[in-house]
Amino acid sequence: MTILALIVFGLIVLWMSVYGYVISSKTSEDYMLAGRGIGILVMFFFMLFSISSAWTFYGYPGYLYTHGPGYVFFIWGCVAGFAGLYMFLGPRVWAVARLNRFLSPVEMMSQRYESKALRVILAVLLLAFIVPYVGIQPLGVGLGFEALTGMSRMFGIAYTVVLLLLVVFLGGMRTTAWVNVFLGLVYAATFLGSLVWIVAKVFPGGLSEAAQVVAQNRPDLLSAPGPEGYFSHVTIAGLLIVGMLAFSWPHVVIGTMTARDKLIFKWLPLLAIVAAGFLFYTIPFIWGAIVAPAISLLPDTLVPPMSGKEADNVVQVIITQYLPRWFSTFVLMGVIAASISTAAVQLMTSGILVSRDLIHGFFRPDATDRQLILWTKGAIVALLLLTFGIAAWNPARLADYLTSVSVPGFAQWAPCLLGAVLWRRGTRQGAIAGVLGGTLVLVAGYIIAPGNAALLGKLIIGSLVLNGLLYVVVSLVTPPPSAEVQSRFFDEVDDFLSVEV
């Protein structure tokens, strides 16, 4: 039954990928940025489910389950960060990319700061931190597959990698966006459906009954700093800051470049706050902070308390133990949908960074459109193999990949990204100094503070402060950007954005 369902699911994805390939215009702009023609509805699904991944289904609830509700501040920061991206930064990134036909945000940065060195630094930096994030997607499916079938997680990992290859290799960014609509619907239906069903079945008194079970047996799971003392006041505030830096996630920034028109940036904040903040992200919170711990604390529970990396599985294990097997299979498809919808966008972004910014930017500036597409596809295959290796290795908890590795890494380009479109005075020297200084502190943190979450958290925040300070101070003491750059990135954009919609 499970295998049959996975085959049918895979065939649907295959059909969408082939259809996307057939209707595409086979240009690099079409393959990489969906012809800059994504409308509001598809854009919403595209973005929401490019950031809602296996982490949302497993890592986030698993962390709440073991450490209490303080972690939710990362989500509040993320919602504010995404809304802020569309409110403040998105229109200008979209406009400058459209006016200058930029295919990658790093290409935009190198032109803004007139620096090829910065292009390499940013491309390598973003690739280094996006690959672990892609790696957790197949891993999430592998964990779900293991929990559901008892078979090795490698089957689930391999299945996801093959589907990913189909979507990004054949279809490109447009198919990725369209597949995200389908996958997002499957994901949301399974995630919400499983929660409603479990609560109705196990807690007839509703969520209040579940919360009371936790409050009476483990009140430390409903307050800070949590059972293991992770969430001090400073840590919670730090999580909010790290979450707000979501505006700098490269696969989200590149999404703004695919928008059809500037009206999209008027409506997307509404969807980010209401649909994502109030509705969608409430589901994993209720799962991880209330329902899952309450079930584990019941006297006749089928799912005794779990800890460590094992807790990443808690939602799937509960569903498998309490709901019919056919529904567990349906939920696994939701996890696969979540994983693919995120990893596909990340892989497209990574492939573009390799082909457009590293190969085309340096070694083959005279490359044809066809070569650019081929290199992007080649990079995607190589990155997929790397991803497969990381997923098989599985060195850390899912939540740690995101909040301790990928997001702090992405944030290292945040100051110069902001300055690129909002601050005329930001200079090449300031951008390079900030990115290198911040990244060095971050990497030093990984070397000297493994396993010490508090120290690592301080170093992550310290790296961002240093990065921002270096960017501003060095920019102010070095010559301003050329008049041509200021005109292209500010005056022309101002004029373009002020035209009647």
- Site residues for other proteins per CB under 8 A: 69-70, 72-73, 75-76, 79-80, 83, 87-89, 91-92, 206-208, 210-212, 215, 219-220, 222-225, 231, 233, 236-237, 240, 244, 262, 266, 269-270, 273-274, 277-278, 282, 285, 289-290, 422, 490, 494, 497-501
Task: Give the CA distances from residue 180 to residues 47, 89, 112, in Å, rounded to whole numbers and listed in that order.
Answer: 9, 23, 32
Spatial CB neighbours of 208, under 8 Å, sequence gap ≥ 6: none
Minimum distance between the CB of residue 294 and other proteins, rounded to whole angstroms? 10
- 92/251 with CB nearer other proteins: 92
Question: Cα(295)–Cα(302) distance, rounded to whole angstroms?
Answer: 8
Q: How many CA atoms lie within 13 A of 362 on its CB side?
A: 14
- 77/408 with CB nearer other proteins: 77
- 80/344 with CB nearer other proteins: 80
Minimum distance between the CB of residue 101 and other proteins, rounded to whole angstroms? 21
Minimum distance between the CB of residue 37 and other proteins, rounded to whole angstroms? 20
- 219/389 with CB nearer other proteins: 219
Task: Give the CA distances from residue 7 to residues 1, 68, 102, 149, in Å, rounded to whole numbers and listed in that order.
Answer: 10, 38, 38, 15
What is the SS3 assignment for 260-284? CCCCHHHHHHHHHHHHHHHHHCHHH
- 171/415 with CB nearer other proteins: 415
Spatial CB neighbours of 333, under 8 Å, sequence gap ≥ 6: 5, 6, 9, 186, 190
- 48/134 with CB nearer other proteins: 48
Minimum distance between the CB of residue 493 and other proteins, rounded to whole angstroms? 9
Angle at 394 between CA 391 and CA 398, to 5 degrees: 95
- DSSP bridge partners of 259: 38
Nearest to 105 by CA among 416, 472, 487, 377: 416
H or E element in which residue 113 lies = none
Minimum distance between the CB of residue 26 and other proteins, rounded to whole angstroms? 33
- 49/203 with CB nearer other proteins: 203
Task: Calculate the dihedral angle through the C-alpha atoms of 460, 418, 470, 480, rounding to the nearest 10 degrees.
Answer: 170
Nearest to 317 by CA among 493, 144, 474: 144
- 172/269 with CB nearer other proteins: 269
